[in-house]
Structure 1
Amino acid sequence: MKKILFATLMFLTATFAHAQNEEARQKIESAKIALISERLGLTPEDAQKFWPIYNEYSQKRRENHIEFSNARRNFNPETATEQETQEMLKLGREVKERQLKLEGEYSDRMLQVIDSRQLMSLQNAERDFKKMLLDRLDQRRQQQQNSNEQLRKQNNERMRNKRNN
């Protein structure tokens, strides 16, 4: 019974964490869409044509990234053979080449809907959004570290007070 309860609890925790991650991912995606829409100044007609192309491009780019991330996660340079290391390097080059080809293909497709200035604005908006996201993550990490430090100090103070009493 305890094992079933524990397994159920773990499942619910994992499900909740996944739901939170999915919710966070949706919020991030919405913010990205808002930033890009603002920067590009798309007309409703252009937006209707642009977003399906951009979303397809983003999905393919994400798949490319996931493939390489999974390979890197399973690669241990300390135990890898020379051949495995060569294969990893080759995969890295292939992924970069695919990414470059993807950018060229989708840039051409997007230029049928938006002009070259908007395409440059898109690239700048993506870079700015990534920087903003990383900055926020750094801020959160810093806040978490500060919070942990405060808790440590409070706990130390409590321990001192208990000893003195």
Structure 2
Amino acid sequence: MLRFRHLLFTLGFMLSGALCTNAQPRDSKRFEAIENEKIAYITKELNLTQSEAQRFFPIYNQYNKEMWTLKSEKTSVATNAPRGASALNGSGKRDVLSYDAKELEVKKEYRKKFSEVIGSSRAIEFFEIEQNFRELLYKELQRRNR
């Protein structure tokens, strides 16, 4: 009986490990599909020409990478401060406002870069379009969970 429990426990452990390793590619495929939808949405909403898109999206990819880094730093328990800002307040807790300030700086920097490619009015509009996409994504997630 004890051997059977041991065997059952071992098989369960191996099965759960196999399921965890299979979950990663599926999640990365979902993430990739969402990113592709986001790029299509931005292209459509900003009414980008093919040449504008070819110049815009390498800059956008840099922006997106920087924002992901900041957001992961903000949510992680690591105490590393974003460039030039103190991540800890006086009580030893993370100072979320310093991350928000850094995000604002990054957005201002990239708004200038975007405006060189697509003009200032569409560069300003980009951030609203990006927010609209997030809201659409959130609504779709809520709809699927019902």
TM range (shorter): 0.7 to 0.9
Report runs of 4+ in structure 1 exceeding 6 Å deviation.
Answer: none
**What is the Cα deviation at residue 48 of structure 1?**
1.3
- The alignment partner of 2:116 has SS state of coil
**What is the Cα deviation at residue 141 of structure 1?**
1.8
Larger radius of gyration: 1
**Residue 48 of structure 1 corresponds to which residue in structure 2?**
54
The 1:126–1:10 alpha-carbon spacing in structure 2 relative to 1, beyond 3 Å, is same
1:10 counterpart = 2:21: no
Amino acid at match of 1:8: M
**Residue 136 of structure 2 corresponds to which residue in structure 1?**
132
1:141 counterpart = 2:145: yes
Q: Please identify which structure carries the higher helix content.
A: 1
- Output the TM-score relative to the length of structure 1: 0.70
**What is the Cα deviation at residue 7 of structure 1?**
4.0
Amino acid at match of 2:98: E
How many equivalent residue pairs?
A: 131
**What is the Cα deviation at residue 89 of structure 1?**
4.4
Structure 1, unpaired ranges of 5+: 73-82, 143-165
Give the Cα–Cα distance (whole angstroms) in 2 for the partners of residues 136 and 88 of structure 1.
34
**What is the Cα deviation at residue 121 of structure 1?**
2.8
Q: Bigger shift: 129-138 or 15-24?
A: 15-24
Q: Bigger shift: 5-14 or 60-69?
A: 5-14
Kept after mapping to 1: 8 A contact 2:63/2:110:
yes
Higher relative CO (Cα under 8 Å, sequence separation at least 6) belongs to 1
- Output the TM-score relative to the length of structure 2: 0.79
Q: Among all aligned residue pairs of Structure 1 and Structure 2, give the percentage whose two residues are the same amino acid.
A: 25
Structure 2, unpaired ranges of 5+: 1-5, 79-87
1:88 counterpart = 2:93: yes
Q: Bigger shift: 52-61 or 4-13?
A: 4-13
The 1:121–1:70 alpha-carbon spacing in structure 2 relative to 1, beyond 3 Å, is same
2:33 aligned residue (23, 27, 37): 27
**Residue 66 of structure 2 corresponds to which residue in structure 1?**
60
The Cα RMSD (Å) is 2.2
Give the Cα–Cα distance (whole angstroms) in 2 for the partners of residues 130 and 44 of structure 1.
24
